[in-house]
């Protein structure tokens, strides 16, 4: 799993930051890319990445503000032109379906694939044998959501010494043993998988929040997450602006991350009022509160381990 930030600005694009969009690349795990928000010119940002639009199978929209949705019609149209024929699921708040259908209809855009719209409500919105996605409400003046992507635990690693004790030598049989609970060897011996594997490998947890004021629910939802992606539109000196516009300040977010015991905090949705030196100075202060914090930037990649 790898997160790639396609846009890390807020409100309007700047020379160095496009508006909101984050790709969750799961090419090895399931040969898919999931997109979280799709601000204006997201498809242009994709041109600077290795992401193929046809690999995007799901799009999750946190809320209906323009800097999070204006890139959708163009991206969907381009995906159709670029050999994208597989259906796509789009998860978002009420009104998203109407916005997209109106945009595509009035621009006479015909897609080569089907769209399945899923209107967001709190709770589980997707699950399969590999992972689940749930959403929860935030506070932003309009309906806004956070998403919890939880990978299921996987079978522990094979223990070669245990296999050798049973007279089993390396080969294709190793994979057979790992795939099934009980394997019967040619000599009739029964090998129980749990006897020759280590403890289960804990699934990774990623939490991606839309625009919001800080809330106690975020702490609960992000508990022990491997990565929390959260907006930090304003620095601490502009705390009142964050309050006035239903956003979060950087100091508020690092306190949430600390309480939630997340492994890594990635801050995005940054106001263009701050230059790089402002953010470097702010980051030094933030690290004194929570050391595993970083400001994301356009094209920034983070491997979720």
Residues marked active site are found at: 67
Please compute Rg for the chain using Cα positions: 22
Give the contacts of 94 (CB within 8 A, at least 6 positions apart).
119, 120, 143
Burial-class residue 8 by CB neighbours within 10 Å (0-12, 13-18, 19+): buried
Tell whether residue 68 is among the known ligand binding residues: yes
Tell whether residue 44 is among the known ligand binding residues: no
Tell whether residue 67 is among the known ligand binding residues: yes
Tell whether residue 247 is among the known ligand binding residues: no
- Closest by Cα among 7, 210, 207 to 93: 210
> What is the 3 state secondary structure string of the chain?
CEEEEEECECCCCCCCCCCCEEEEEEHHHHCEEEEECCCCCHHHHHCCCCCCHHHEEEEECCCCCHHHHCCHHHHHHHHHHCCCCCCEEEEECCCHHHHHHHHHHHCCCCCCCCEEEEECCCEEEEECCCEEEEEEECCCCCCCEEEEEEECCECCCECHHHHHHCCCCCCCHHHHHHHCCEEECCCCCEEEHHHCECCCECCCEEEEECCCCCCHHHHHHCCCCCEEEEECCECHHHHHHHHHCCCCEHHHHHHHHHHHCCCCEEEECECCCCCHHHHHHHHHHHHCCCCCEEECCCCCEEECC
Tell whether residue 140 is among the known ligand binding residues: yes
Query: Can you say which residues are annotated as belonging to the binding site for Zn(2+)?
Result: 63, 65, 67-68, 140, 211, 269
Pick out the residues of the known binding site.
63, 65, 67-68, 140, 211, 269
């Amino acid at each position: 799993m790898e997160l790639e930030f396609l846009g890390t600005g807020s409100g309007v694009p700047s020379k160095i930051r496009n508006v909101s969009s984050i790709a969750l690349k799961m090419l090895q795990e399931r040969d898919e890319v999931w997109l979280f928000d799709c601000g204006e010119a997201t498809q242009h940002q994709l041109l600077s990445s290795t992401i193929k639009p046809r690999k995007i199978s799901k799009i999750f929209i946190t809320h209906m503000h323009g800097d999070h949705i204006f890139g959708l019609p163009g991206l969907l149209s381009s995906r159709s032109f670029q050999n994208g024929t597989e259906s796509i699921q789009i998860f978002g708040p009420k009104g998203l379906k109407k916005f997209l259908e109106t945009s595509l209809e009035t621009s006479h855009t015909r897609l080569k694939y089907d769209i399945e719209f899923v209107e967001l409500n709190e709770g589980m919105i997707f699950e399969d044998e590999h992972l689940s996605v749930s959403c929860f409400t935030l506070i932003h003046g309009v309906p806004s959501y956070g998403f919890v992507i939880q990978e299921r635990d996987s079978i522990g690693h094979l223990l070669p010494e245990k296999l050798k004790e049973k007279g089993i030598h390396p080969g294709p049989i190793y994979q057979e043993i790992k795939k099934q609970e009980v394997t019967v060897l040619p000599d009739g011996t029964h090998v129980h998988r749990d006897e020759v594997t280590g403890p289960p490998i804990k699934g990774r947890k990623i939490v991606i929040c839309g625009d919001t004021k800080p809330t106690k629910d975020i702490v609960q939802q992000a508990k022990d997450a491997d990565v929390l992606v959260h907006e930090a539109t304003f620095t601490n000196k502009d705390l009142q602006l964050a309050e006035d516009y239903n956003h979060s300040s950087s100091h508020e977010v690092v306190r949430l991350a600390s309480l939630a015991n997340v492994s890594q905090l990635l801050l995005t949705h940054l106001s263009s009022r701050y230059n790089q030196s402002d953010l470097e100075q702010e980051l030094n202060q933030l690290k004194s509160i929570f050391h595993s914090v970083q400001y994301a930037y356009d094209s920034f990649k983070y491997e979720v381990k």
